[in-house]
Amino acid sequence: MYRIVLMLAMTAPVWAADAQFNGWWDIRVPDHPQKRASWMEITGAGTPALKGRFVGFPGGNMNDIENLTLKDGVLRFIFEMPARGKSSGLRYEYTAKLVDGRLVGTCNTGRTEMAWTGERAPKIDEHDDGSWRKGKPIHLFNGKDLAGWKGIMRGGQLGWSVKDGLLTASGSANNLESEGKYWNYVLHVEYRVRPKSNSGIGLRGRYEIQILEDYGAPPDTHSNGSLYSRIAPSVNAGKPAGEWQTFDIRLVGRDVTVVLNDKQVVKGLIEGLTAMATDPEEGKPGPITLQGDHGPVEFREIVLTPLVKK
């Protein structure tokens, strides 16, 4: 009995230290050419029930972390991508330590290594509770040129053009971000995609509303109108390729409502960053981002109406 009590007394400080890994983490990867940001949730640290979820590399899905360990103050997890066709497999090994309340880590593929840091996701105590009114609309696209927008990838070709009032991505374009940064708002977007095309709209540069040509397909967390990899639309309200479609997206704090072609398809709570994230500072205003590297897409209206307290 004495030995058991002694062992518990010796391990209690370790468990307490390990428990500091628990929570939501917003991750910055400073050297990534696309300014990619990631997200992680850790639960059960300091207990035998250690678990994690991760949004980041490889791919941009919400993934359960299967190979997760926490030993001697080092969090370690591994994602493996099997070889496909001519592509060789990849192995991503992540490690991190807590330094002054922040995660400081690396991602190593065996060929490259990138440093990353994680900050605790802030509590955002604002809700879409009827206490907000609309301000003056801001036309983010003027129909003439790319004024107010810039490419995200450092040194990349832009790949966007403006003609006849349409903002068009070639299909392999640099993603765009607005020069302005915004907090709570209603965003109206009119867009058109070609068959099999794919794009997205980033809210505050953090949360992607998926654009996808998937007319008639069953809805899932990657469908047109979804909060990408997090919240599936209730119905597939998309139109066939080549038809103009509309989003009316309302964002207050972490509360999001998505209306696609006049049908509400998403209403829920945003837990954290998604695949398109480039700005991990969740407690601050962020840009609107447009995805142009997954297929051709056209926009003709992008109007943001700030929401302010009544």
Residue 9's pLDDT band, with cuts at 50, 70 and 90, is: very low
Contacts of 60 (CB under 8 A, 6+ apart): 228, 229, 274, 275, 276
Q: Could you tell me if 147 and 308 are in contact, meaning their C-beta atoms sit under 8 angstroms apart?
A: no
Question: What SS3 state is found at 199?
Answer: strand
Strands 113-120 and 263-269: unpaired
Q: pLDDT tens-digit profile of 189-199? A: 999 999 999 99
223/8: higher pLDDT: 223
Q: How far apart (Å, rounded) are the C-alpha atoms in residues 287 and 306?
A: 13
pLDDT at 8: 45
Model confidence, pTM: 0.92
**Rg, C-alpha atoms of the chain:** 21
pLDDT tens-digit readout, 108-161:
988 889 999 999 999 999 999 999 999 999 999 999 999 999 999 877 678 999
What are the phi and psi torsion angles at 177 (to 5°)?
A: -135, 145
* Model pLDDT for residues 59-97, shown as the tens digit of each residue: 789 999 988 999 999 999 999 877 776 667 788 999 999
